[in-house]
């Protein structure tokens, strides 16, 4: 999926690439912070574990970025896909050298070797770009929830299991998000306006109190620009809605 934001980003990269080709070594400074998460994610997905800045693979990914800028040709397609392929190739080469240099456990080679070397197409990197976009929203939501002393583990403990109850809670969240008075109360006091919801809007007090954290999280998703997360909190259409 190629969104306008992707096109804008691609244009930025093309501009930086052109400047870099013409000798401006500082041309990367503008796009480096945006590319780094992508490089880290490709490394992690290739190695099937979290790669931090201190890991050897992170250094290889940084070198692969420079190599991609040297070798890229717009005729080859989107820069981001090309970059992903280069990073992946360099990490696989590194792992092969490591395998030759020291004894790796046989089962690791059986388990990981084939998966690492299997060829991937652009959809693999497209998936990573989508993952990163989702992660951005999730990290932003996590920061907002911290003000209410709510974590995602808490939400797992208080999520309504029944579809009907969850739908009632979601409607309460929708009501709060759509009403300025109610959502201002919540944002200022960091709590639900339960009394007003019950008296003025005939909201079930038990549901509001029992699923307070869930309702707050859902309200925050409605209030902010979280298109990915918003698609998840809507009720599932058709099928077995009582599943899970």
Min dist CB 72 to another protein, Å, is 26
Picking from 1, 83, 2, 75, the residue whose alpha carbon sits closest to that of residue 39 is 83
CB of 236 to another protein, least distance (A): 4
Question: Closest distance between another protein and the C-beta of residue 93, in Å?
Answer: 21
Distance CA 81, CA 99 (A): 27
Shortest separation between residue 195's beta carbon and another protein, angstroms: 25
Complex with another protein: residue 27 or 129, whichever CB lies closer: 129
- Please tell me the distance from the alpha carbon of residue 107 to that of residue 104, in angstroms, as a whole number: 9
Residue 178 to residue 171: CA distance in whole angstroms = 10
CA angle 4, 10, 12 (to 5 degrees): 110
Nearer to another protein, 89 or 159 (CB): 159
* Beta carbon nearer to another protein, 76 or 164: 164
Q: How far is the CB of 127 from another protein (least distance, A)?
A: 8
Looking at the Cβ atoms of 92 and 163, the one nearer to another protein is: 163
CB-based burial, 70-106: b 16+ in 10 Å, e otherwise: eebeeeeebbbbbbbbbbbebbbebbeeeeeeeeeee
Q: Select 120 or 133, whichever has its Cβ closest to another protein.
A: 133
Q: Which positions touch another protein (CB under 8 A)? A: 41, 44, 48-50, 127, 130-136, 138-139, 141-142, 151-153, 155-157, 159-161, 163, 166, 170, 214, 218, 228-229, 232-236, 239-241, 243-244
For tokens 């079930």, name the residue.
Answer: 204
């Amino acid at each position: 999926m190629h969104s306008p934001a992707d096109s804008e980003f691609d244009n930025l990269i093309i501009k930086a690439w052109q400047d870099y080709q013409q000798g401006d070594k500082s041309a990367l400074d503008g796009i480096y912070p945006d590319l780094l998460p992508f490089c880290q994610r490709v490394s992690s997905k290739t190695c099937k574990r979290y790669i931090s800045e201190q890991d050897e693979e992170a250094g290889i990914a940084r070198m692969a970025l420079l190599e991609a800028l040297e070798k890229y040709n717009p005729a080859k397609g989107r820069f981001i896909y090309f970059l992903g392929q280069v990073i992946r190739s360099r990490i696989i080469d590194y792992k092969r050298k490591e395998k030759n240099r020291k004894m790796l456990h046989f089962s690791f080679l059986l388990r990981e070797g084939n998966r690492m070397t299997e060829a991937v197409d652009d959809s693999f990197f497209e998936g990573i770009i989508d993952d990163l976009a989702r992660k951005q929203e999730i990290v932003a939501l996590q920061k907002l929830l911290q003000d209410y002393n709510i974590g995602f583990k808490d939400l797992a403990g208080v999520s309504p299991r029944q579809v009907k109850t969850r739908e009632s809670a979601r409607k309460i969240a929708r009501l709060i998000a759509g009403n300025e008075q109610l959502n201002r109360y919540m944002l200022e006091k960091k709590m639900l306006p339960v009394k007003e919801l019950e008296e003025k809007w005939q909201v079930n007090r038990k549901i509001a109190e029992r699923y307070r954290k869930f309702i707050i999280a859902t309200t925050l998703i409605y209030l902010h620009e979280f298109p990915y997360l918003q698609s998840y909190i809507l009720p599932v259409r058709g099928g077995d809605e009582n599943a899970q």
